[in-house]
Structures are given as structure tokens and as C-alpha cells.
Amino acid sequence: MPKSPKARKESSKREREEGRMSEEGLNPFRKSSRTERSPSRSEERTQSKEIEKKVETVLREIKEDMAGIVEESRARRKELAAAREKEGEQEREDILKSSEENGELRKELATVREEMKGREEKGQLEKADWMKRMEMIEEKMEQREKKERKNNVIITGIGAISGNIERVVEEWLEREIGVKVNEQKKNIMLSKGKLKEKKGERMYIDDDLTKEERETQKKLRELVRAERDRGKRVKIGYRKIQINGDWFRWDKRQEKLKKVC
């Protein structure tokens, strides 16, 4: 008995549906024609809470950083007050100018952090951009600190000192290595090899390094000890070491040694 038009239409529709399901079964990578559902209210609330947590974390980090900046500013004012008592007018002006420049850099850093917070709240954080800007600002601050310390030296192992510390150190330098405090730093560093070992202790004269430089040199000394334990010939320099005649420089960003070409 021939099928009615309605029966033929339903049969054709069923065959097309079966063919589509068969094709999807044979091809698991075929994209489904079904429309994906929109996120539910529960999922939207979960995403909102995650963004709020990120914002809270950023705000806490900014608060901690600002506390460190305030503490550093207090220390800088103390240094400036001490400098007024024993340094000339030109040096006082240089320190004041440096302090003002550092203050501007800190303001710029705070601005970047505020921008970062706003972008996080809007879900439009451009991490690569603000990270690069902060690195540039921190590098400027590091260079400024190095400039302030470039004429300083650090003396360790000299033992207990009583009375006028400044006068005692001046006399000690002139007696031990034959230089006066008012001489150029270069002469002092060139003559530091004249220091003699006394009573089982060793006295040292070193450059006045920044915190970042001290951390780098500490890592290099640890690497030197490890390489020497392996029987290699090792020398240490500023931000670099020599291993079996080859020089390697410390890469701060990648936290590893890179061979100097």
C-alpha cells in the first residue's frame, strides 16, 4: 500500500536525522550543530567571585608595597639629616635631588599599580605592558641607588671600635694600606690587597652594593663554591664568574648564568 504524503515526509525527516546521528558517530571531531548554552547564573556568580578574589589580592600587594615605600622614605629622610651635618653643600643638593627623583619614581610606580588594579576590576588586565613598565621603573631606582653608593666602601672584620669611629677608621686605613679617606675610592680599592691577616681574622674592603647587587653576588659565591667542589677552576667578578677560563654573566630575569661571547 503506497505511503501517504504525511507518512513520506515523516519517514524522510527520520532518515535525515538518523543519517546525521550516524555521521556524528562516525566522525567524533565533527562540530555539533546544537547551540551551546549560555552560562548559568551560578557560573556567573562563581566567575564574579574569582574576579573579586583577584582584586583583593592585588589591593593587598599594593598596600604592602606602599608600606615598604613609606618605610624607605623615612630611612631616606634620616640619611639626608645625617648628610647635612658632615657633608658639603653640593653633596647635600645631590642627595636632595636624588631623593626628589626617587619620590617621582615611587609616584609613577604607585600610578602603575593603581592602573593595574583598575584593569583587574574590569577584567582587562594587560599584564605584559604594566610588568614592563614596572621593571623599567625599578631599574631606574636601582641605577639611582648605585649612583648614590658609587663613592662608598664597606669595611668588615675591623673589630670593636670605641670613641670617634670616623677618626679611628681614617687612622686604620692610613696605617694598614697607606691611603687617606679623602683620596679617590679607586686608590682605596687598588690598595686593599695590602690588608694583613691578624689574630686569625681577615679584614675586607668592598664596594657599597645595592640590595639587588648583594643578592646577585651572594648567588654567584654559592655557584663558585659548588663549581670548586666539582674540581673546576673558578674566579668571581662583578655579576659574573669564570669557570675553566670561560666567563659567565648572571641573567637577573632568567635567574641563571649565560656564557659571555
Q: Where are the domains of the chain?
A: 48-149, 153-207, 210-261
pLDDT in tens, the chain (261 residues): 555 555 555 666 566 655 555 544 444 445 455 555 566 777 777 877 888 888 888 888 887 877 777 777 777 777 776 666 665 566 656 666 777 777 777 888 788 777 777 666 665 556 666 777 777 777 777 777 666 665 565 555 555 555 555 566 666 666 666 666 555 555 555 555 555 544 444 555 566 667 777 788 888 888 888 998 999 998 888 788 889 989 998 887 788 888 887
Sheet strands (E) in the chain: 153-156, 204-207, 234-236, 240-243, 246-251, 256-259
Q: What are the φ and ψ backbone dihedral angles of 230, each rounded to 5 degrees?
A: -85, 5
Question: How far apart are alpha carbons 106 and 95 in whole angstroms?
Answer: 16
Answer for the pair 54, 126: CB distance below 8 angstroms, yes or no: no
